[in-house]
Structures are given as C-alpha cells and as structure tokens.
Amino acid sequence: MNLVLFDLDNTLLSGDSDFEWAQFLIAKGALDREAHEARNIEFYEAYRAGTLDIDAFLDFQLAPLARHPRAELDAWHEEFMATRIRPMIGAPARALAQRHLDEGSLCVIVTATNSFVTGPIAREFGIPHLVSTIPAQENGRFTGKPRGTPAFKAGKIERVDAWLESQGCWWDGFGQTWFYSDSFNDLPLLKRVSHPVAVDPDDTLRDHARRAGWPILSLR
C-alpha cells in the first residue's frame, strides 16, 4: 500500500481556507473589519514570505472560535463551504484525490489550518484522514488555543509521525510515499517522502523542484 499526503490550501484548493474563513467571519459581522482584515492579510503575506509567527497567528485565528457556541459555528461553516470552499475545488483536484483513493492508497490531508475549518473540506474530497492543527476544547467549546504541535513546517512531520504511530503504521511500511504541496514552507515534509510533487508552486518551491528534478503539477 502507498501513503499519499495532500496539502490543502493552494494545493487541492485554489485558495487558502484559513484566510477565507477569517474573511467570511468579517463579512458576517462576527469580526470587526477594521480590526481584523488588515491583520488577516498581514499574516497571509507573512506565510507566503516564510516569516509567519505561527503562535501569534493561531492566537488571531482561533480566538473567534471561543466566542461563539459550536452550533452557531457549525451553521456558519455550512455556509462557508457553499460560498467560499466548493468554488475553490476544481475538477482536476477532485480527480487527483479520487485516483489515489481508487488505487487503494492511504490518503491523508496534512494542513496547518485548524481541524474545525478543514474537517468538512477533507470529507468533501472523500479523504478519510486529516492531520492538522488542533483547536483545544473544554466542555464542548473551543478555548481559542491550539492543542499540541501546530502542523506547520517541520511540525507537519511530527504530527504525521504521531498519526502513523496511532494507526499502527510507519514510513518504511509503505511501498511508496507521496506529498503534494504548493509551498516552500512544506519542504521538510516534501523531502521526507519518496515522491514529492510541487503543485502550482510558489517561486521558491518551483526553483527547488526544478533543481531537485521533482515533478511540477497544476490543478488549476
């Protein structure tokens, strides 16, 4: 059996679910536009530049989850899926995921975006497993803080390692391992697999992929 890992934002999606979730909350009036929109853009640009302070970002991104009951958040997320996420899912991305599923591979979405935002997106693709940043909960409500290591940069390897162990699996137990990603932030995990694939990559990852002889794929 093969292991196939997919990044989500700007890889399977033609956009960033983390960024869009904050913009969605701003549009709903759940977040103040003046106070939050500029910061949301600032964090997104820092991510693209490789300078993101993940702890500061998670304080920003997870805090709204703690201000609202889960039922309200879930209702908003259904609207978010319909208006923001499904329009970012193209036929080539669905076909790529389905091809690996049909081959019987163990398929996993691995993303820094928190599991509240990304869980329904993984289900939309029919991908049964998700390794992501976990928003902490107490008594059924989010606390506004992460639990454990964020699935970001080298943290993705740590989280995948822990997930594999929980499944009774290990890296060398697979025939081949794949990871699809758009971002140079994912170079640690891309270098860990036997088949790294750059998907609509940023300039830094594109240059690295060309030098390393990695395939470059577009899903747009």
pLDDT in tens, 133-149: 999 999 889 999 999 99
Q: How confident is the model at residue 109 (pLDDT cuts 50, 70, 90)?
A: very high
| CATH (domain of 181) | 3.40.50.1000
Helix (H, G, I), strand (E, B) or coil at 69: coil
Q: What is the pTM of this model?
A: 0.94
Please enumerate, as own/partner, the contacts of 204-213 that have beta carbons within 8 Å and a separation of 24 or more: 204/50, 205/181, 208/184
Q: Domain span at residue 213?
A: 3-217
Spatial CA neighbour of 11 closest among 114, 123, 122, 117: 122
7 is catalytic: yes
- Tally of domains in the chain: 1
Helix (H, G, I), strand (E, B) or coil at 190: helix
Partners of 129 in beta bridges:
108
At residue 183, does pLDDT exceed 90? yes
161 is catalytic: no
pLDDT in tens, 58-80: 888 898 899 999 999 999 999 99
On whether the CB atoms of residues 184 and 190 are closer than 8 A, the answer is no
On whether the CB atoms of residues 198 and 217 are closer than 8 A, the answer is yes
Q: What is the pLDDT of residue 120?
A: 97
Catalytic residue among 9, 16, 182, 202: 9
CA distance linking residue 9 with residue 15, whole number of Å: 6
